[in-house]
Structures are given as structure tokens and as C-alpha cells.
Amino acid sequence: MPLLEARNLTKHFPVKGGLLRPMGLVRAVDGINFTVPAGRTLGLVGESGCGKTTTAKLVLLLEEPTGGTIRFQGEDLQALEGDRLRAYRRSVQAVFQDPYASLNPRMRVRSIIAEPLVANDAVPGEGLRARVLELLDLVGLPERAADLFPHEFSGGQRQRIAIARALALSPKLVVLDEPVSALDVSIRAQILNLLRDLQDRLGLSYLFIAHDLAAVAHMSHTIAVMYLGKIVEVGDAPTVVRNPKHPYTMALFSAALPSHPDEQREEIILPGEVPSPLNPPSGCRFHPRCPSVMPRCATEEPQILPVEGRLTACHLYTEARQTLPV
């Protein structure tokens, strides 16, 4: 049983126009399926506006789904209440994009890290200081950091503080929403390596959300690619990175920096802009920009099916199946 499982997960936001008349629905997340096994990382990638952050908010219970289910250790999140709901909130923590915005500038670091422990009565008073220092050491910060304020640290150090706070309650799952995109390139690798080391040491699971494809490839065991609220490809990270099958995934990874300077890669330029989720295209949502578009793409939504060791939602492969000799 996976630690976290989403089935047909949907989130639509109503949009109102003049005189508060309903205009339609923004289909931010539209019937997606994914799992996060214990001790593993699911990387969620896609362009801005594809639904990645909304998915994170649904997992963190910051938004209520329109449809579908999320299960944590087999329990439906919508059925949780009381002690079971509080236990879930302790078990699932988050690290956000901007560490300075997520840390209270008026609080010393010891109070920032201790806040979830105090709020949940997780550690007796005499053990609080020791736990804070233990967490600082875990993320590579010295003991003296406990008495300083967030503005006295660099961006990378502030993100280490945010990670320490997220680990205070010993969670099982950490949602990482663009955790390094606000950092200097020279610092990103340090934070990513820290996160991997913590996963190995503590057995953590991660939902890793990013548009930095190199970071996703480095961190993830499984990669899911989103486009306009839909997952279009999902599979083991090396399989998806080295041999993408969906035309959108191919275009994404063709635009990423190669892992080696001698690597030759043909860049795929997609025409047009991402359509509005308020009025997504019929059929395959990627078809207006797809270099491999076929007539049926405009009318039929493709199913996500097994293709060479991963799942892909593309009519290219359903066509190939239909033309295979019996």
C-alpha cells in the first residue's frame, strides 16, 4: 500500500463575471491519479499554471477537492476528523519556495523551529531546547543559529531553517513546492543534496514540485508530467528523462540544459501559448501546440496507457496499437 494515493483527483474553481454572474470553471486539476510510496520521491513537473501547486494544496488540505479521493496510509482524507485529522497534519509537512516569506521575521530561529512542537505538545518543556538544537544540526546549521533572526541568514540558510521546522514533528511525507527555485544556482545543489540525505537517514517521502527539470531528475524516483490539469506521462525518473514519449514531455526535456556538455539534443519549439484552464481545448488538451497532432486529437481525449515502461496519454501510441498485426 502506498503512503499517499490520489485517484481521479479534481479541483475546479468557479469564476464569476460582472454582477457576480458565473462565467465558468477553472479546471486547475482534472482527474489525476498518482501514488507516493514510503521513502520515495514523486516529482511533479509542468509549465506554470498546469496544476502542480493546486495539487500540493489538496494534499496539504489547504484546498478541498471538487472530486476524487486522496488516501494516506489507506485512509480517505475527507473522512478524517478529530485526532486522526491532527495526526495527518503532523505526518505531512511542507517546505515552500520563498524561505524568507515563510519565516516570521520577528521570531528568533529557536522559536520558529519550536513553534510546531509547542502547538502540538510534542516535546516536554525541558526537552524543547535539545530538540531544536538537534534539528539545527540535522540541517547543517550551528547551535548559535538558534538565537538569530531570519534576516541574518543567506537564502540557502533560511531554507535550511524551513526544512528544520518541517521536520520538527517527524513527518512521513514532506511536500516540497519549488524548494530551490528562489535560491542562487550555486546553493541549489547543496539544498537538494541535503534533502536526499535526510530522506535516506529518516525514511521520508517527498512530493517534489518544480519546473527545474534538472532538479526533478536529480531528486525523483518517479516523475509525473502535468499539462493543463492533466497528467500526460508518468514513469520511473530515468525512463522519462532519457526517453520521453509524450510530445509535451519531449518538448520540456529538449529545452532543459543537457547533463553533459557533449550531449547533443534537438530543441523542440512549441507554437502558441498554454490555453486557458477556463476553456481548455477539446480532445487532447495539448493538440493545439503538438507537433505530432492527428485529426482525432481534437475530438477524443486520450487514455493514459502503458507505453514502453511508463504510462502515457497520447493517441500516437493508441494508433500504433490499433495497427499492430493480430
The arithmetic mean of pLDDT across residues 83-112, rounded, is 93
pTM of the model: 0.92
| Residue 54, in any domain of the structure | yes
In the prediction, which pLDDT does 125 show? 75
Range of the domain at 171: 4-236
- CA-closest candidate to residue 204, choices 3, 58, 52, 1: 3
Contact 52, 216 (CB under 8 A): no
Q: Of the ranges 70-79, 121-130, 206-215, which is most confident?
A: 70-79
| Residue 34, in any domain of the structure | yes
| Residue 153, in any domain of the structure | yes
Helices of type H across the chain: 52-59, 82-91, 99-102, 109-119, 125-138, 155-167, 185-202, 213-219, 237-242, 247-255, 315-323
Indicate if the pLDDT at residue 272 is higher than 90. no
In the prediction, which pLDDT does 51 show? 94
| Residue 283, in any domain of the structure | no
Indicate if the pLDDT at residue 260 is higher than 60. no
Length of the chain, in residues: 326
Which run of H or of E encompasses 305?
strand 304-307
| Residue 142, in any domain of the structure | yes
Q: Report the CATH number that the domain containing residue 129 is assigned in CATH.
A: 3.40.50.300
Indicate if the pLDDT at residue 187 is higher than 70. yes
- CA-closest candidate to residue 225, choices 248, 257, 255, 205: 248
- Tell me how far apart the alpha carbons of residues 176 and 195 are, in angstroms, rounded to a whole number: 10
| Residue 294, in any domain of the structure | no
Per-residue model confidence as pLDDT tens digits over 144-156:
999 999 999 999 9
What is the total count of domains within the chain? 1
| Residue 308, in any domain of the structure | no
Per-residue model confidence as pLDDT tens digits over 127-141:
899 999 999 999 999
State whether the Cα torsion 104-105-109-110 is positive or negative: negative
| Residue 72, in any domain of the structure | yes
